[in-house]
Each structure stands twice: as structure tokens, then as C-alpha cells.
A and B are shown apart, each in its own frame.
Chain A
Amino acid sequence: MYLLSIDLWFLLEKALLIGGIIGLSFFIAMYTTYAERKVAAWLQDRRGPNRAGPFGIFQPLADGGKLFFKEEIIPLASNKFLFILGPAMAMITALVASTVIPWAAPFITKGGNVIPMQVADVDMGILLVFGIVSVGVYGIMIGGWASNNKFSLMAAIRGASQMVSYELPMGMALLAVLFMTGSLKMSEIVSVQVQNGWNVIYQPLGFIIFFICALAECNRTPFDLPEAENELNFGYHQEYSSMKLGFYLFAEYINMFISAAIMATVFLGGYDIPFVNEASWGLSSFWMTFISFSVLMSKICFFLFVFLWIRWTIPRFRFDQLMDLGWKKLIPLALINMIITAAVMLWLNK
């Protein structure tokens, strides 16, 4: 009987939250493409798009519209089912990863109901993110394989090996954080940081390793070898056109947004406001939720800006340099970081 008693409010609440987060992801991804072009222009002493609407703010709409009206080409020799599955897979995994992120402080209604601003607060929270990110490789692999083009395939292999290699140091850097928080639950990770201070203070090395790996996982410069346009023949989406290509590119920007959100949550205290004790302000629950959400968003925007800033500063690595950095530098560093953290935690708990 318990299973049959469906709480309609609960369903509505989650449906709204899911819709909101997906909408937000699309919106942010759209305007990250705009920001990418603007920041690129500013860093190169140019002006950037400024024709579509005031300051060019309708540029992403124009870009999207263009992609919709482009001719759709599916190569004859490709596997049609897989060819369509590839971009869909990339998009779905990008969107699903946002489920466990706590977006704001819980909202308490007048009746005393606590509504968490999180789609699912599962116990294995951060592990779930890692699982989904790993599945994201399939989007690349399937796309590259189904195109039936040797260059796409090689780019897909390149991308897959890069993502698999960088998941290792990423996971190890994260382990050191998990030693300190003692929980995989995202809400727990945030609340520990609210009490004890941000993880980035205790784990600066872990943060840097995690950040570098996040760049590599999102295929961002300097690790954007899977889609090196000029010297490596464009990459796994070479045969894609129209909105399927749009899906791949868009999924990349959503990935950026989600990884920025995860970094903000795990290392920068999530929705916590620094240096103040916001609980003592006595604000209503609505305003607390609103303020904490905007704080998280500003942290995410900061990370997104750094992503763009890095892209327009440094050239990309060579593939052997990429692998060297991952296996010979980051993994040992992450291991050392992990062992030191473990030793310190053991010593402190004695």
C-alpha cells in the first residue's frame, strides 16, 4: 500500500525542478556560446558579435536557427541508428549529470514542508555523476564509429582514451575530498563545507588536479584534441551536420556548465555564501533559497569564465604531452595528495 500512495505534490515539485534545471542548462549553454565569442573577442581586442539585438544578445538564437535550417546529411555508408543515437547519447548524459547537484538551500513552505532544491539526493551522489560522465564517452565513440569515416573513428578513439585517462586522477582527487567529508551525498558535502570552510582551502592541490581533469573531460582547450578543427581533421563529429552537430556542440557546453556546478559544489562550498553566517540574518526561506541559488550561479559563472579565459590563452597540447600529463604527472600527484590526506585524517582522529 505504501508504494501505491503517490504523493502528487512530490511529483509536481520534482517535475517543476527537473523542467527548471533542464531549461536552465539549455539557457546557460546557449549563453555560454555567446560568452565564448564575446570573451574571445575581448581578449583579442575585438568587439565580438554585436549585430543581432542589443550587444548581440540574440546571437545564440540566430546560431541555433541556422543549425535547424541546415541540410541534414547522413552518410550512405553509416549505420543510421547509431548515427542518430550518438548525439542523443551525448545530450542525455550531459543533462542527466545535473540530477544530484543541490542548487540552493532547501525551501521551507509555510506549512513546514521542506522542499530540497535538488532532483535526487541519493546516497552515492558524486559517484552517480562519475558513472554518467563515463557513459558520456559512448556518445563520442558511437558517433565516431557510426560515421564510417576513418578520421572520425580515430578522433573518437583519441577522445575516448583521453576521457578514460583523465577520469582516474579526477576520481583520486575527489577521493581526498571524500575522506574529509565522509559522505558521497552531495547535500552532505555542502553542509560539511558550510560548517568547516570550503574544501578548496584544505585541498588546493586536489582542486587544481580536479580542475585540469574537468577541462580534459569537457574536451576544452588545452585538451580539445578530440575536436581539433585545423590540425586533426575536426574530430568525431566530422560527418555530422545540421542539428545533430548542434547537439554535440551543445552537449559540450552543457557539460561545461555541469562540471562548473560540480566544482563549485565540491570545492567552493556549493550555495554557501563565504565569510558570513547567513542563518543569523533571519530572512524568509524564499529569500534564503533565492540568495543561495544566485551565489551558486555566480560561482558557476566564474568557473565558466575561467574555462573560456583558458581557451583563448593557451594552445592545445600534443597527444603525447596530453597522455604524459595525465598518467605521469597528475595520477602520481593525485595519489600523493590522497595518501597525505588519509594520513592527516588518521592522525587527527586519534
Chain B
Amino acid sequence: MGKQLTNRGKEVDRSPMTFLESIYLWNIIKGMGITISHLFKKKATINYPEQKRSFSKVFRGLHVLNRDAEGRENCTACGLCAVACPAEAITMEAAERLPGEEHLYREEKYAAKYEINMLRCIFCGLCEEACPKDAIYLSETFAPANYSRKGFIYKKEDLVIPHPIHEKEAYEKARGGRVEINKKD
């Protein structure tokens, strides 16, 4: 016999069956003992829609476009995320901030259009790492099923986080814990 790959290998026993084995009955009873013991074991199943398993701290889910504390969008449409993206899932169009829009956008330039194709995205998180403005990060939810391919192209309105002052609760929920982990100093 060659070298064993694991310590769980067992040599095959090819000795002829003993009388007890040849009538099967004893071995069947032994097997039934094993199965009945499973009757009392804890079930591994999670009742999915009612009960959900929490994700790990570093789980990378759907993207969120972040706002600052006053509710202004962080994104400046620099395009670094699109460059970093190995799956080429991100497209954007930049626009200049007009006077009177200071409460909407944090800096002079913003993303007028921002799309992520969730079918292309591999949820690697490189966009998050590339972003110099803390504008994009991956949240703790995953992309829900959809009827058409079109539905998987997420527009800016699908991605931007709820307003932290007007919709505080929804903002906290969307924010999750991951933004803290990823915070750059």
C-alpha cells in the first residue's frame, strides 16, 4: 500500500464474511441503531425565511453609495472604482455641481449616472479599496433574484444610501457594520 494521503484511510477488509455477517440481520440492526440515534440529534437546518443566519463581519454584499453626516453624497465620479473593477461592472458619468446644490453633493464634481451590473460583479471589494472618498462600500445584503437581466443593472437611485437625517432608521440599517471596518484614516 502506498503512502496515505489522510489519516482517515482504512485498508479494505477482504476476508470472507463470518456467519453473523452472512445473515445480514445483526449488521442491519447495528445500522438501525445508528439511524435511530440521529432521530434525537440537533437538526442542522435553519428555517430560512423566518430565521436567518447572520453573515460574517467581512461579508461582501450589495454596493452602497455613501453619504456624509449631513446627507451629502461622497462620490466625486473620479472613476477609480471603475478602473479597479476586474469584472468591468461599473460605469459612471460625471457632472459639475451647480450653485445651490451644495446640500446634495459634498464636492464640486459628482456622479450624474452610476451603474453597477450585478451579473458581472464578482463582489471582490476592490472598488471599496480603491475609493479615496469612502463613497462606495459593500453592504451585508446580497442581490435578490430578478425576472430579467435588466433588473440586475443597479442605477444610482438603487445604490445611494438613505438620507442620514431624513430617514435615520433606514440609513442605519443600510449602513451596517462594514463601513466602520473599511474606514480609511
Residue B44 lies at the interface, judged by CB distance under 8 Å to chain A: yes
Interface stretch among A27-35, A40-48, A236-244, A269-277?
Answer: A40-48
Residue B69 lies at the interface, judged by CB distance under 8 Å to chain A: no
User: What 1/0 flags go to B11-51 for Cβ under 8 Å of A?
Assistant: 00000000000010100100110111011011111010000
User: What 1/0 flags go to A41-57 for Cβ under 8 Å of B?
Assistant: 01111110010000000
Interface residues of A (CB under 8 A from B): 42-47, 50, 208, 309-310, 312-314, 329
CB distance from B35 to the nearest CB of A (A): 5
- The residue in chain B whose Cβ has the minimal distance to the Cβ of A315 is B31
Does the CB pair B23–A312 fall under 8 Å?
no
On chain A, the residues within 8 Å of B23 by CB distance are 329
Interface hits, B44-61 → A, CB 8 Å: 44-45, 47
Does the CB pair B35–A47 fall under 8 Å?
no
Does the CB pair A310–B32 fall under 8 Å?
yes
What is the predominant secondary structure among interface residues of chain B facing chain A? helix
21 cross-chain CB contacts under 8 A? A42-B38, A43-B35, A43-B36, A43-B38, A45-B38, A45-B41, A45-B44, A46-B43, A46-B44, A47-B45, A47-B47, A50-B47, A309-B32, A309-B36, A310-B28, A312-B35, A313-B28, A313-B34, A313-B35, A314-B31, A329-B23
On chain A, the residues within 8 Å of B31 by CB distance are 313-314
User: CA A43 – CA B35 in complex, angstroms?
Assistant: 6
Decide: A45 near B43, CB < 8 A? Known: A313-B28, A314-B31, A329-B23: yes
- The residue in chain B whose Cβ has the minimal distance to the Cβ of A317 is B24
CB distance from A207 to the nearest CB of B (A): 13
Q: How many A-B residue pairs have CB under 8 A?
A: 35
Does the CB pair B28–A43 fall under 8 Å?
no
- The residue in chain B whose Cβ has the minimal distance to the Cβ of A325 is B24
CB distance from A173 to the nearest CB of B (A): 15
Interface residues of B (CB under 8 A from A): 23, 25, 28, 31-32, 34-36, 38-39, 41-45, 47
- The residue in chain A whose Cβ has the minimal distance to the Cβ of B37 is A43
Apart from A45-B44, A309-B36, A313-B31, list 16 A-B contacts with CB within 8 A.
Answer: A42-B39, A43-B38, A43-B39, A44-B38, A45-B41, A45-B42, A45-B43, A46-B43, A47-B45, A47-B47, A309-B32, A309-B35, A312-B35, A313-B28, A314-B28, A314-B31
CB distance from B104 to the nearest CB of A (A): 47
On chain A, the residues within 8 Å of B32 by CB distance are 309-310, 313
User: CA A60 – CA B183 in complex, angstroms?
Assistant: 54
On chain A, the residues within 8 Å of B35 by CB distance are 43, 309, 312-313
B45 in complex: contacting residue of A46, A309, A312, A329, CB < 8 Å: A46
User: CA A55 – CA B39 in complex, angstroms?
Assistant: 16
On chain A, the residues within 8 Å of B44 by CB distance are 45-46
On chain A, the residues within 8 Å of B36 by CB distance are 43, 309
CB distance from B65 to the nearest CB of A (A): 38
- The residue in chain A whose Cβ has the minimal distance to the Cβ of B39 is A42
- The residue in chain B whose Cβ has the minimal distance to the Cβ of A312 is B35
On chain B, the residues within 8 Å of A313 by CB distance are 28, 31-32, 34-35
On chain B, the residues within 8 Å of A208 by CB distance are 25
On chain A, the residues within 8 Å of B34 by CB distance are 313
User: CA A50 – CA B23 in complex, angstroms?
Assistant: 39
On chain B, the residues within 8 Å of A314 by CB distance are 28, 31
User: CA A45 – CA B25 in complex, angstroms?
Assistant: 25
On chain A, the residues within 8 Å of B39 by CB distance are 42-43
- The residue in chain A whose Cβ has the minimal distance to the Cβ of B30 is A313
User: CA A304 – CA B43 in complex, angstroms?
Assistant: 23
- The residue in chain A whose Cβ has the minimal distance to the Cβ of B34 is A313
On chain B, the residues within 8 Å of A329 by CB distance are 23
On chain A, the residues within 8 Å of B45 by CB distance are 45-47
On chain A, the residues within 8 Å of B43 by CB distance are 45-47
User: CA A309 – CA B32 in complex, angstroms?
Assistant: 7
On chain A, the residues within 8 Å of B25 by CB distance are 208
User: CA A284 – CA B49 in complex, angstroms?
Assistant: 52
